[in-house]
Amino acid sequence: MRTYLTRRLLLFFPTAFGVSIFIFIMLHTIPGDYATSLLLGDARDQSLATPEDFARVREQLGLDGSLPVQYARWLGNFVQGDFGISWSNRVPVIERMAERIFLSFELGILSVALACLLGVTLGVIAAVRRDTWIDYLLRSVSMGMQAMPGFWVALMVIVILVAAFGWIPSVYYEHLWVDPIRNLSVLWLPALIIGSRSSAEILRMTRSSVLEVLHEDFVRTAHSKGLSSGKVLVGHVLRNALLPVTTLAGFEVVFAMSGQIIIEQIFNLPGIGKLFIQSVGARDYPVIQAVVMFIALVVLLANLVVDAMYAWLDPRIRYT
């Protein structure tokens, strides 16, 4: 187990390095020159600024030198915790992100937790009640949730709440340690919308895994020993059926992080997702790079945690 985790950690860093190269190249190959836009705005007359002005602005923005030189400079600063200066308001990127990370982190945790809780619970119910109206209903709802985009569901929920009940979701956010009630009243609906699509996929996977394990020999042996159906389901069936579900839950972290970008904008939540959209509109490359790298690192860590959980769920698994 320890050897495997060491190897996964060693693989973690080259993967993050490759992601950083991809992000940097993609952003810096986008047509257009931010220095030109900053100096001239919408004007087309290049004579309004001297070559010295362009050189000075590019140096201040870190755009001087070749692309490898710019990347080496950015990576060196990033490793030291210096994410650069935001081009749009000249504030350190780390300061802009620090005040938003906790909200996005909390929203992501709530979304994935709700997705796993709903998906696993309803998946087990669908498997135990196989080929009944409950099973058909749950499967139909899950397919419907998978087919509907998260942003469309969010908009429809807001429209229905306003039109039918005259209730507008609260947008006044408070940190969890300041006002827990206000905090959860703001985040529960966005978290439920993000987690609903993921729970649909987890439901279907849980149902299939539980049905497969229910026909194993060790399940019949457990019943023959006189164990109750509940103990067999929780202690034997569910633990073995959760292996593929755990893998899927790791992938759902990716969907949760991507879904947050749009949901935070719709619900006007001051998180990383909203910062990302604002930065894209302003072509604020340092902020965009930092946000994408942050999301990539979260996904890599989630995959590492999922791999480590395999040994806990199934003692037969040994990493060497």
Q: For 107-166, what is each residue's pLDDT tens digit?
A: 888 888 888 888 888 888 888 888 888 888 988 888 888 788 777 888 888 888 777 777
pTM of the complete model: 0.74
CA atoms of 22 and 298, how far apart (whole Å): 17
Q: Map tokens 């796993």 to a residue.
A: 116
pLDDT in the model for residue 7: 72
- Are the CB atoms for 18 and 27 separated by under 8 Å? no
Alpha helices in 47-168 (DSSP H): 51-61, 67-79, 93-128, 133-147, 150-160
Q: Map tokens 């050897």 to a residue.
A: 3
Residue 269's Cβ-count burial label (10 Å; 0-12, 13-18, 19+) is buried
Question: Chain-wide mean pLDDT for the chain?
Answer: 77
Please determine, for residue 46, whether its predicted confidence score (pLDDT) is greater than 70. Answer: no
Q: Where are the domains positioned within the chain?
A: 2-79, 93-313
pLDDT in the model for residue 87: 76
Mean pLDDT of 173-191: 77
Using pLDDT thresholds of 50, 70 and 90, give the confidence band for residue 49. Answer: low
Q: Map tokens 């719709």 to a residue.
A: 266
Per residue in 226-268, pLDDT tens?
777 777 777 667 777 777 777 777 777 766 766 677 888 888 8
Q: Encoding tokens for residue 63?
A: 């755009």
Which residues is 92 bridged to in the sheet? 85
- How many distinct helices (H) and strands (E) make up the chain? 13, 0
pLDDT in the model for residue 311: 61
CA atoms of 257 and 105, how far apart (whole Å): 9
Please determine, for residue 39, whether its predicted confidence score (pLDDT) is greater than 60. Answer: no
CA atoms of 13 and 26, how far apart (whole Å): 20
CA atoms of 52 and 39, how far apart (whole Å): 12
DSSP conformational letter for 93: H
What CATH class is the domain 93-313? mainly alpha
Mean pLDDT of 306-317: 65
- Are the CB atoms for 291 and 194 separated by under 8 Å? no
pLDDT in the model for residue 31: 63
CA atoms of 295 and 116, how far apart (whole Å): 20
